Structure 1
Amino acid sequence: MASSTLESEERISTGNGRTFLGHPRGLATLFMTETWERFSFYGMRALLVVYMSAKAADGGLEMQVATATAVYSVYNAMVYLLALPGGWIADRLLGARRTVALGGAIIMFGHFLLAVPASAAFFAGLVFIAIGSGLLKANISTMVGHLYDGPNDPRRDGGFTIFYMGINLGAFLAPLAIGTVGQKVNWHLGFAMAGVGMALGLIQYLLGTRHLSPRSSVVSAPITPEERRTVLRKAGLWLAAAAVFYGVVVGTGNFSVSWAIWPLSLAGIAVPVLVFSRIRRDPELTGEERSRMSGYLWFFAAAAVFWMIYDQSGSTLSVFADRNTAGSLFGFSFPSSWFQSLNPLYIMALAPVFAWLWNAAARRGRNPSTTAKFAFGLLMIGASFLVMMLAMAAASGGVKVTPLWLAVVYLIQTTGELTLSPVGLSVTTKLAPAKYASQMMGIWFLAVTAGDCVAALAQLALGDSVVGSTWYFAVQGLLAIAAGVGLFTARGRIGKLMGDVR
């Protein structure tokens, strides 16, 4: 009887009732939750580096630009790194539904901590937001999939497209609202608005959970009591070691932000290396799977280079927008945080164009290979930083350059993103060994972690005299272009490693 009841509930949740644009009603819940979560995340992000580097007289933390951008990079890296334990917690302890609710509450609390005018509360808030984002990000997309009758449900792709639009809608609106309040009224009021946004998303989620699939409440691989004790023991040992180490550093008066950035950045680089080493050594992998993983490493490394540059849209480009770019265009004035709305705007406009383009090319038998698309993405992200080099040169001597420079840079970057990011998600599922099929998406996100951690270490090491200079942008732009050319040149070798996957 219990099984029959569950199946009945499943049909209600995923059946033919067209209550939200022809999709299960639960999609509206997840769509609005993600819209508000992205609203809070991108609104806070639009203010983050500008606030940290602003003068104390203007209410900021007056950090060096290099340190502020490094903090941003390592924070962003941790959001994606923590998606791995976030998925584990849902699978082994709480189930996706409760994990997302917990993540949303932690994010909300983190944003309200940012609203407290104290540096200790500010950095604690970043920690909470990173932890909560890891819990939420890892599982909300999975719950979208739960709404449909398996991978062959004809509504499934459309559902994810609608969900993806929710992400970009929140990301587009956030800088316009939160950015304006933060820069024009009060920094901490802006951060508080981000907390209110997440609170609205959490309320929407809790009210609409009855429309979600029963599968989202299931703990798919419950942890055994023995495993729980082992996990708690290891976690306790690591926490105790960290507490002792940082207790000594703080007690001796030597603590600085660098003491947090360096260990976290090195860990963010080491984790992907350890993960791939473990997979490669797995004796259960077939020779074909091992070869495919060797091919996948090329894409992973390329993605890390891409995200290293792309994610600076919220750091070095934010500083350039604030300090070197005119705050008006055609007589209309706006705060620098508004530039953060360009990328989601471009994505919403261009994503359907790229989807049509790939389909049209495939019908003619001219669809570029995955390697070629990745190479093009690297060329675009490299070109964007060469344009930034020119923009920085134009801004020499304190000149405020036209906003069109950044509008072009973000357009080039978005074009690169649309040729690499969706393709990367696809090739990850295609090349994944059967044993690691459910883990590979989390491993793909580690490319973001690795790229951002490299950026954080470079920014901290180079200092204010180099970070944001013409040479800073030129070297990274040329590096990405060289990586793109190298990847395209090696496409034959990579194709052989991929086997029959294209």
Structure 2
Amino acid sequence: MATSLTKETPGAPSGDTTFFGHPRGLATLFMTEMWERFSYYGMRALLVLYLVSGGADAATGSQGGGLAYTAAAATAIYSVYVAMVYLMALPGGWFGDRVWGARKTVGIASVVIVAGHLCLAIPSSAMFFVGLILVAVGSGLLKANISTMVGQLYKDPKDPRRDGGFTIFYMGINLGAFAAPFLIGILGEKVNWHLGFGLAAVGMALGAIQFMFGSRHLAEESSRVPNPLSAPEKRGIITKVLAAVAVIAVFYLVVAFTDVYRLTLNWALLPITIAGLLIPIAVLVKIKRDKDLSGEEQTKMTAFIYFFVAAAIFWMIYDQGASTLSLFGDTSTERSIFGWEMPNTLFQSLNPGFIMLLAPVFAALWIALARRNREPSTIVKFSLGLLGIGASFFVFLIPMGMADDGTKVTMWWLVLIFLMHTVAELCLSPVGLSLTTKMAPAKYGSQMMGVFFLAVTAGDSVTGLLAIAGVDLNGQGVVALEAASAVVAALAVYMYRNKVQSLMGDVR
């Protein structure tokens, strides 16, 4: 689900223990991330439902006032949006390292996110898309820098509280994501879409305000720019940015004045989606071809690419929890619980809720198995995650078949599928993060976490391209194909585990 880039950097005082035995600054970062995830996941729970509202693919009797897109167009917009959030983490990290420093970047990002949600709260299709862009940019800026500041709270890299600090921080992520659908989701779905988006703005504003007042507790290093741009570099970058903006502006002006609206939407999404696929490939190729890397680092990068491709398949399916699964839940499930009809947006609370319940269980399980020398290798865990996500979509085919004739199926099918997603995530996501830190070339040590998250961008871009092409992602054939691709990838990872392990060298 919600994970943040963890770039641990020593250099902060660690004697201030006023937040569960941790530096006081951890409370500031915990609350900032909690409110940011609250606003992000609350808005995300509404996004696809709002896009189809008022159109043919909306649930019967649902609230109107949306943009009346088809399910395919809504899925494409959603997929491109999520892809861009993770893609923007790369320039977000660059701004923190070279322009503003981590603290200032997070402060600016918070304001940008608030502005984005306020735009979404305005009943205007044009402002809606402006809002999506602002939230994506702000989330990318924040995501790449806030975890850096968590690491900076602990002066000694061997401080035994460090792992615990990141665990507390991670709980803030899931707490915000869990609460959001209960407040933002229900308000938006049952009362007014734009009130829901407005509440997301209020949540992020609270996070921004407490960050401003609490930032004095952060490490001094968080205000420094580690590698500031030189004057010639600044001039060169400004020139390139202005040239890129001019090219993009000309392209979209030509499209806008020569095409009909429906095709304009596709033309608007298509270049962004293709970029979401090509940029991760370009980044991997650039690192792989770097002559400064040693032979061992080159072979580890080869192994990393295998994991990257498999992870992209995983996220391609996983992120459809708020699109394909959400649309199915809205139109095809019976959600009555003792006479109360559960709002569809509450399905989006299942994953963070299951994470908070099961993460300690999995951590204890791996430790117990390790004591008996029976803990699965990281490669096997990775393949289990892929197998689990693929199996979840094979299970999804059952209620899809039952609902073919318009029959509404029990909501517990989706509860089961979200549970399977969570179990799969706990097998794959922590392993992927760990492998990335272990296999990262020294030259790219601080960047590789962002590179790994480009797998999310790549996976969601594939989904976006399929939707733009008119493929029915809610069809049983496509769901079966996606499920099979994940299972095949899982089997391939497992069958070639010895080869991949040899490429990984001393990494286990």
Q: Which moved more, 1:233-242 or 1:146-155?
A: 146-155
Deviations 1:335-377 (A, max 9, x none): 1000000000000000001111111122222221111111100
Where does residue 436 of structure 2 map in the other structure? Answer: 428
User: Which of 80, 83, 102 in structure 1 is aligned with 2:89?
Assistant: 83
Instruction: Give the secondary structure class of the aligned counterpart of 1:397.
Output: coil
Match of 1:378 among 386, 391, 394: 386
Give the partner amino acid of 1:442.
Answer: G
CA contact (8 A) 1:13 1:26 kept: no
Aligned partner of 1:29 in structure 2 is 28
In structure 2, do the counterparts of structure 1 residues 13 and 285 end up closer, same or farther at CA, with 3 Å as the change threshold? closer
Task: Give the 5 Å matches for 1:155-166.
Answer: 155-166=161-172
Q: TM-score scaled to structure 1, two decimals?
A: 0.96
SS at match of 1:78: helix
Q: What's the counterpart of residue 497 of structure 1? A: 503
Separation of aligned partners in 2, 1:298 and 1:181:
43
Note the alpha carbon deviations across 1:66-94, whole angstroms, 9 max, x for none: 11011000100000000000000010010
How much does 1:11 deviate?
12
TM-superposed deviation, 1:241? 0.5
Match of 2:108 among 97, 102, 109: 102
Q: Does 1:174 align with 2:188?
A: no
Which secondary structure does the structure 1 equivalent of 2:405 belong to?
helix
Alignment of 1:349-364 (within 5 A): 349-364=357-372
Indicate the larger mover: 43-52 or 471-480. 471-480
Question: Equivalent residue of 1:191, what SS?
Answer: helix
Which residue number in structure 2 is paired with residue 48 of structure 1? Answer: 47
Deviation at 1:251, TM superposition (A): 2.0
- 1:152 is paired with a residue whose SS is coil
Q: Which runs of 5+ in 1 are unaligned?
A: 1-9
Matched, 1:288 2:299: no
CA contact 1:13–1:24 (8 Å) conserved in 2: no
Residue pair 2:79, 2:461 contacting (<8 A) in 1 also: yes
* Structure with higher helix content: 1
SS in 2 for 1:257: helix
Residue in 1 aligned with 2:419? 411
Aligned counterparts of 2:156 and 2:207: Cα–Cα separation in 1: 27
Which residue of structure 1 aligns with residue 195 of structure 2? Answer: 189
1:268 to 248, 270, 276: 276
Aligned partner letter, 2:285:
S
**Superposed, which structure 2 residues align to 1:316-327 within 5 Å?**
316-327=324-335
1:305 aligns with 2:313: yes
2:364 is the counterpart of 1:365 = no
Question: Match of 1:17?
Answer: 16
Q: Which moved more, 1:186-195 or 1:269-278?
A: 269-278
TM superposition shift of 1:14: 2.8
Q: Which residue of 2 aligns with 1:467?
A: 473
Show the counterpart of 1:62: 68
SS at match of 1:396: coil
- Alpha-carbon distance in structure 2 between the residues aligned to 1:48 and 1:86: 24
Which amino acid letter does the alignment assign opposite residue 389 of structure 2? I
Q: In the alignment, what sits opposite 2:351?
A: 343
Q: Is the 8 A contact 2:252 2:268 kept in 1?
A: no
CA distance in 1, matches of 2:65, 2:407: 25
* Aligned residues between the structures: 491
| Alpha carbons 1:39, 1:170 under 8 Å: kept | yes
Partners of 2:284 and 2:50 in 1: how far apart?
Answer: 37
* Alignment check: 8 A CA contact 1:13 1:211 kept: no
Distance in 2 (alpha carbons) for counterparts of 1:329 and 1:151: 50
Q: What is the one-letter code of the residue matched to 1:40? A: S
Using a 3 Å threshold, how does the CA distance of structure 1 residues 12 and 220 change in structure 2: closer, same or farther? closer
> Offset at 1:59?
0.7
Map of 1:484 onto structure 2: 490
Mapped contact 2:12–2:152 kept (Cα < 8 A) = no
The 1-side partners of 2:15 and 2:370 are apart by 31
Amino acid in structure 2 at the alignment position of 1:179: G
Alignment check: 8 A CA contact 2:86 2:456 kept: yes
Alignment partner for residue 395 of structure 1, among 399, 403, 422?
A: 403
Q: For the Cα contact (< 8 Å) 1:390–1:470, is it kept in 2?
A: no
**How big is the shift at 1:13?**
6.0
Paired with 2:214 and 2:465, the residues of 1 have a C-alpha distance of 42
Shift of 1:406: 0.5
> Aligned pair in 2 of structure 1 residues 376, 12: CA closer, same or farther (>3 Å)?
closer
- 1:86–1:139 Cα contact (<8 Å) kept: yes
**1:245-256 correspondence runs (5 A):** 245-254=251-260, 256=264
| Residue 327 of structure 1, CA deviation | 2.5
Who is 2:157 aligned against? Answer: 151
Find the counterpart in structure 1 of residue 128 from structure 2: 122
1:224 Cα shift? 0.2
Q: Which amino acid aligns with 1:423?
A: V
Q: Give the 3-state SS of the residue equivalent to 1:367 in structure 2.
A: coil
Alignment of 1:456 onto 2:480:
no
- Compute the displacement of 1:254 (Å): 4.0
User: 1:329·1:402 contact (CA, 8 Å) conserved in 2?
Assistant: no
Aligned residue among 202, 205, 215 for 1:209: 215
Whichever residue aligns with residue 16 of structure 1, its letter is G
CA RMSD, 1 decimal: 1.4
The answer to whether the 8 Å contact 2:12/2:155 transfers is no
Contact 1:15/1:24 (8 A) holds in 2: yes
Give the distance between the partners of 1:491 and 1:459, measured in 2 at CA: 33
**In the superposition, relative to structure 1, how do residues 191 and 292 fare at CA in structure 2: closer, same or farther (>3 Å)?**
same
Q: Is the 8 A contact 2:39 2:200 kept in 1?
A: yes
After superposition, give the CA deviation of every residue in 1:38-67 in whole Å (9 maximum; x if it has no partner). 000000000000010111681111101011
**Separation of aligned partners in 2, 1:293 and 1:305:** 19
